[in-house]
Amino acid sequence: MWIYAIKRIGLSVVIVLLATLALFALLHMIPGDPVSIALGPRATPEIQARYIEKMHLDEPVVMQFFIFIGNVFQGDLGADVFSDRPVALTISEQLPFTLVLVVTALGWAALIGIPLGCFSAVRPNSLLDRITGVFSVGTIAVPSFLVSIWAILVFAVMLRWLPVIGAGESGDIVDQIWHLILPAFAVGLGWVGYFARMVRASMLEVMGENYIRAARAFGLRRRTIVYRYALKIAILPTITLIGIGFGTLLSGAVFAEIIFSRPGIGKLIYDMVLNRNFPVVQGAVMVTVALYVVITLLSDLVVAWIDPRVRTTL
Amino acid sequence: MSAQPSESAAAKAEEPRVSERGEKLHLFLRNSQGMFGLVLVLLFFASAIFAPLLAPYDPNQLDIPARMSGPTLDHWAGTDQLGRDTFSRVLYGGRVALKIAAIGVSVSLFLGLLLGMLAGYGPRWLDNFLLLFFDTIRAFPTIVMALAVVALTGPSLELVLIIVIVTSIPGYARLARTSTLALKNTEFIVAERSLGASMGRILWRHVMPNVVGPLLILAAMDVPVVVTVEAGLSFLGLGVLPPTSSWGTVLNEGYLIIRDTPWPVIAGGIPLVLTTLGFTFLGEALRDVFDPRLRKGR
């Protein structure tokens, strides 16, 4: 287990570094003089010189990259071009909003999707199974940004039940939850279908295994068999799915944040791209990538921990 | 598009398999979900290709007196804030979606196949290098990568294509790699190698026909992903730019007037849902018929 974990962690670090390098190279290919983009045409030569020195723009790009990476390890992601605010501070303010959104979305989807999948698998081809099947395909077929738009149309414009802008007053928990409902609904809806389908498929497989038949022969209650024994194994592919699908989940969160004008890392990247505030873009994208890699890593480690066979594959 | 190549791939096999093919066709025809998917997919192709004939109006023709109307006999899906006919705009939007899907999926399929076979067949270091490369690409959520690239190039159709291709390649490549690894030491490949066939010949003539089938099924399932990325980026103003009509721009413009009329955001979204349903059903049916083993893997 430890060898697997160390190899897997090492690989993740390499991936984050490579991704950062790619991003760094990309943002340095932007045409135009970075100094005049950042400071505008009317900056005096002294200000320009100070900026060049501060951003190490007189160094070769490779050196700039290593300086950047070195700073990252000290928690310094650079500074906002306009306000000179540390990028790390801005991100640490925005990131919790995204995490709350993602976790809530995934949470409600799992709470509904996993039991739905279990029910369907226990009684295949029953009415409930069919309804679940249609419902799952239906939710998967509507892209999350479309769910956001249609949810706004139905719940905010037509019914006027829920607010659609912002994340609520800070400090007012009720208001914040109120503002979280629609975005979390939009981001999570497709996942209900994913969970239900995935759990149903692997559950059907597990229910045919010998140890389940043995448990049944012992006369254990059906519910005990399904939830205590079968689900524990049947949930594994779903955990991997969360790991792999976390990128899609983040994409969904980015859309939801932009559409609902909700603070968060996605909205931050979007706004900063429009403002051409590249240090912030660079830092925020890097944090997003790192987040994705860490989640994939965690899901792989959890699966390896539950299922020792996986450990030999790396 | 997705049904034909897989059939022609099967057609390359020897004569005695005709009956097997007939059986598979029969299996597919009996799959009601698959047939429903096929109908939707054909509808998608037909409406996009024949949009100029089907559309009642020019997609950019203004009709100010009838602006922001609901569905009427003149305008089946209503009009937008400039009085443009939403139905016609959606039909023309299908052409953008088709273009992106056709180019994006075929290019990423080809490159993914090539890189995947190289990773599976080539030396170990190349395999490791390519795997690392795919994992690095995957570490960027699609929209986040798009935002970073938009900063560089500004929004355009080409940008959407590049994003789509780059983010899709790893999926195809990994699939091709796994199948190639399994083939690498089979007898007929070893025999071919001992006869002195070059790597290019082995990969192209012997490995590729055996590897490409599952990739074509993946391609069918990938179409809605690609179409959704286009619509999503265009909706954010990062893809196709107005006045060109795409499903994304119809949604974008409709969203601005969502409080005045709901019809553009409804009409702009429905084809997206239908296309996704169609290709998903078709892809799943093809997978069940041609390669039941894949079902477990996904």
A104: pLDDT confidence band, cut at 50, 70 and 90?
A: very high
- Tell if the CB–CB gap between A251 and B143 is shorter than 8 Å: yes
- Tell if the CB–CB gap between A14 and B132 is shorter than 8 Å: yes
CA distance A23 to chain B (A): 8
CA A85 – CA A89 distance, rounded (Å)? 7
Q: Chain B within 8 Å of A289 (Cβ-Cβ)?
A: yes
Q: Measure the CA angle with vertex A293, ends A291 and A296; round to 5°.
A: 110
- Tell if the CB–CB gap between A251 and B276 is shorter than 8 Å: no
> Would you say B169 and B134 are in contact if contact means Cβ atoms under 8 Å apart?
yes
Q: Measure the CA angle with vertex A114, ends A113 and A120; round to 5°.
A: 90
Range A218-247 average pLDDT: 80
For A157, the closest of B251, B258, B269 (CB atoms) is B258
Higher pLDDT, B74 or A21: A21
Sequence spans of domains, chain A? 97-312
Residues in B touching A158 (Cβ below 8 Å) = 262
First-last CA distance in chain B: 22
Give the DSSP per-residue string, A161-190.
Answer: -S--SSS--TT-HHHHHHHHHHHHHHHHHH
Cα A312–chain centre separation: 28
pTM over 0.80: yes
A38: pLDDT confidence band, cut at 50, 70 and 90?
A: low
For B147, the closest of A142, A205, A270 (CB atoms) is A270
Give which of A105, A111, A152, A107 is closest to A248, Cα–Cα. Answer: A105
CA B129 – CA B112 distance, rounded (Å)? 15
CA B89 – CA B51 distance, rounded (Å)? 9
Q: Chain B within 8 Å of A27 (Cβ-Cβ)?
A: yes
How crowded is the C-beta side of A313, counted as CA atoms within 13 Å? Answer: 8
CA distance A290 to chain B (A): 8
> Which residue has 């066939």 as its token pair?
B197
Q: What does pLDDT average to over chain A?
A: 82
Q: Does the N-terminal peptide bond of residue A41 adopt cis geometry, omega within 30 degrees of 0?
A: no
pLDDT of the residue at A313: 59
pLDDT of the residue at A310: 67
- DSSP label at B186? S
- Tell if the CB–CB gap between B235 and A150 is shorter than 8 Å: no
Give which of B82, B107, B126 is closest to B172, Cα–Cα. Answer: B107
Distances (CA, A) of A112 to A115, A309, B3: 6, 30, 35
pLDDT of the residue at B29: 76
Range B103-113 average pLDDT: 94
Contacts of B28 (CB under 8 A, 6+ apart): B34, B35, B285, B286, B289
Topology annotation, domain A97-312: MetI-like fold (1.10.3720)
- Tell if the CB–CB gap between A273 and B255 is shorter than 8 Å: no
Residues in B touching A11 (Cβ below 8 Å) = 132, 135
Taken in order B291, B293, B296, B298, the sign of the CA dihedral is: negative
pLDDT tens readout for residues B255-270? 888 878 888 888 888 9
CA B140 – CA B148 distance, rounded (Å)? 10
Q: Is the pLDDT of residue B130 over 50?
A: yes
CA A140 – CA B125 distance, rounded (Å)? 38
CA distance B198 to chain A (A): 30
Give which of B51, B100, B56 is closest to B76, Cα–Cα. Answer: B56
Q: Is the pLDDT of residue B158 over 90?
A: no
pLDDT tens readout for residues A58-102? 677 777 778 878 887 777 777 777 777 888 888 888 898 999 999
For A281, the closest of B148, B232, B296 (CB atoms) is B148
Best mutation target among B68, B136, B281 (most A Cβ atoms within 10 Å) is B136
Backbone angles phi, psi at B140, to 5 degrees: -90, 115
The secondary structure of chain A in percent helix, strand, coil, rounded to multiples of 5, reads: 80, 0, 20
3-class SS of residue A79: strand
Domains of chain B: 17-297 (1.10.3720.10)
Q: Which of A37-41, A151-155, B221-225 is the least confident region?
A: A37-41
Q: What does pLDDT average to over chain B?
A: 81
Q: Is A258 exposed, middle or buried (0-12, 13-18, 19+ CB in 10 A)?
A: buried
* Structural tokens at position A250: 């983040």
CA distance A145 to chain B (A): 7
B165: pLDDT confidence band, cut at 50, 70 and 90?
A: very high
pLDDT of the residue at A312: 64
Q: Is the pLDDT of residue B9 over 50?
A: no
Q: Which of A123-132, B22-31, B289-298 is the least confident region?
A: B289-298
Residues in B touching A292 (Cβ below 8 Å) = 139-141
Q: Interface of chain B against chain A, CB under 8 Å?
A: 132, 135-136, 138-144, 147-152, 224, 228, 231-232, 235-236, 251, 255, 258-259, 262, 265-266, 269, 272-273, 276-277, 280-281, 295-296
CA distance B102 to chain A (A): 20
- Tell if the CB–CB gap between A285 and B144 is shorter than 8 Å: yes
Range B99-108 average pLDDT: 92
> Would you say A279 and A27 are in contact if contact means Cβ atoms under 8 Å apart?
no
Residues in A touching B143 (Cβ below 8 Å) = 251, 254-255, 266
CA distance B18 to chain A (A): 32
Backbone angles phi, psi at B85, to 5 degrees: -75, 115
Backbone angles phi, psi at B79, to 5 degrees: -130, 165
The DSSP element (H or E) to which B192 belongs, if any, is helix B187-194
pLDDT tens readout for residues A164-179? 777 677 777 778 888 8
Instruction: Name the residue type at position B51.
Output: A
Range A25-33 average pLDDT: 70
Instruction: Name the residue type at position A135.
Output: F
Q: Measure the CA angle with vertex B218, ends B214 and B224; round to 5°.
A: 165
- Tell if the CB–CB gap between A254 and B135 is shorter than 8 Å: no
